[in-house]
Structure 1
């Protein structure tokens, strides 16, 4: 007999990628239309009983001024909101790069929080990238080296629009998973970049994280955006759910409500997002 009352419910939005720009028709991206879609999604999510709503990155497509209209749309959200940046959120003037996490109201670039016996971990896959730090910064230099190594290996995710995490963040992630296990908490990790299945959009060094999650054994799901087509996979005990990008298509929306039960995760898709039942 399946459990009927969820332990936890939360909303998910991915890749609104707003900008006051004409559409990129070849990619089916309608940047300016995302404001209306965002307001529609927020209206629908306000009608749900939710612990919080998470947005999995790429709130804007480019330009610092794009943040004002997007973040003003979020002011209508009646639930607690967790925002994180994607690669496009760093497409701003170099002197603004250090302000992105604060602009999104984040307590830190990577952080965790607990809700109803679950630990949620937010990772920052833009940390080591060609866009999150100004030219000449050590992180930018490290990103060039990592990308060159991946290209030499023929990796399909050796792309300038992907990123990775540094050693300090990886050590923190490992320690946070251990703390959650000691506390008897199951974990849901959230980030912008996919980790699994193999895809050209995947985080640089994704295998290290999927191996860590498999060893840890308490990560029930990893949630991400970035690949606007969406994706789904399972590796070990962990479901990898890639939510579809809101910016795609002229009119159709996409967002979701996630319900966690003792024996399954239910995803209630809206618009283009698929509904799924993922057994635990």
Structure 2
């Protein structure tokens, strides 16, 4: 059979990470080595929305990979205001200027460290950043138990997306009096003896991930993921997992890895259904193809460290045998073949 010159994708979706908007002047990262463009991140989000709304094939949904507003909003009592500002941009995307009057695509929000700098876990569960429920209150898909923010959804037959909660085990978003907080503290203290736990351990290598701005996945969440993937294996579905924190050491700087990345990788490797893992957090971005499993690990470059005259977003077209990422600005074009 001859190849059609222009295949139509089964569906497309948009991806963007680390917007970190705040209505403040430009600043620098924690180690003061990288410029951060807090105000203009909103315009870069607007650029992404305009591109998605004007594309011939409208995205079925948007993946927002976490850190939607910056932690600086908290001390300025501007968390709610900043979040409303950014969510308004997400809501004004598709249909505007297209003449179709269609509603904007659904946004699936991942939670990162900056979400927890601004809000408690219970506040996030009751907010518009909880995309495990539709605006009408109905569930988006099967979700993990308790207050774990992890759920699955299927935008198209044969394809499943799983949103993970990378701060389920963390010092962030947990009450200091809680058992979860003391368990996380015991874990981080095995590796990090600094007074300021946002400073990585002195050692080189993978142990640098044990900082306060990272977290991990509880056994309950890992068991839930295992069951979701077992079901997907049986149905021969293709699964894309998304998380704020990367889980493959070759897809990111070690300082950005999830605490128990190795346990999550072991689960992925024990299933045949996973085709891609997408994350944010590392503002430089990264990519690694795990040839043992055929899984593509994409870490998306962050909007917050993207200059105002550049861009950082992508559109993914999904076909039977591959996904094609069309990047903009700092995001490179890539093809992810399915194993």
TM-score calculated relative to the size of structure 1: 0.93
Gaps of 5+ in 1: none
Measure the CA separation in 2 of the matches of 1:83 and 1:127.
15
Task: Give the match for residue 217 of structure 2.
Answer: 165
Task: Give the match for residue 14 of structure 1.
Answer: 17
Q: Is the 8 A contact 2:67 2:113 kept in 1?
A: yes
Q: For each residue in 1:22-67, what CA deviation from the matched residue of structure 2 results, as whole angstroms up to 9, or x when unmatched?
A: 2124421111111111112111111232111110000011222321
- Residues 110-121 of structure 1 correspond to what in structure 2 (within 5 A)? 110-116=150-156, 117-121=158-162
Task: Give the match for residue 191 of structure 1.
Answer: 243
- Residues 1-280 of structure 1 correspond to what in structure 2 (within 5 A)? 4-25=7-28, 26-48=33-55, 49-62=58-71, 63=74, 64-65=79-80, 66-77=82-93, 78-92=104-118, 96-103=120-127, 104-107=129-132, 109-116=149-156, 117-151=158-192, 155-198=207-250, 199-235=254-290, 236-251=293-308, 252-280=310-338
Task: Give the match for residue 137 of structure 2.
Answer: none
Deviation, 1:136, is 1.6
Measure the CA separation in 1 of the matches of 2:53 and 2:314.
12
Measure the CA separation in 2 of the matches of 1:121 and 1:249.
27
Deviation, 1:148, is 2.2
CA RMSD of aligned residues (A): 1.9
Measure the CA separation in 2 of the matches of 1:216 and 1:128.
23
Q: Is the 8 A contact 1:85 1:101 kept in 2?
A: no
Deviates further, 164-173 or 151-160: 151-160
Q: Is the 8 A contact 1:112 1:122 kept in 2?
A: yes
Deviation, 1:87, is 0.4
Residues 75/259 of structure 1: CA separation in 2 closer, same or farther (3 Å cut): same
Measure the CA separation in 2 of the matches of 1:139 and 1:130.
8
Measure the CA separation in 1 of the matches of 2:249 and 2:324.
20
Q: Is the 8 A contact 1:120 1:190 kept in 2?
A: yes
Deviates further, 181-190 or 147-156: 147-156
Secondary structure in 1 aligned to 2:277? strand
* Residues matched between the structures, number: 278
Q: Is the 8 A contact 1:14 1:56 kept in 2?
A: yes
Residues 265/150 of structure 1: CA separation in 2 closer, same or farther (3 Å cut): farther
Q: Is the 8 A contact 1:98 1:133 kept in 2?
A: no
Measure the CA separation in 2 of the matches of 1:246 and 1:142.
33
Q: For each residue in 1:82-130, what CA deviation from the matched residue of structure 2 results, as whole angstroms up to 9, or x when unmatched?
A: 112110111126xx44211332132261100112220100000011111
Task: Give the match for residue 198 of structure 2.
Answer: none
Gaps of 5+ in 2: 94-103, 133-142, 144-148, 194-200
Deviation, 1:160, is 1.5
Deviates further, 111-120 or 145-154: 145-154
Q: Is the 8 A contact 1:16 1:245 kept in 2?
A: yes
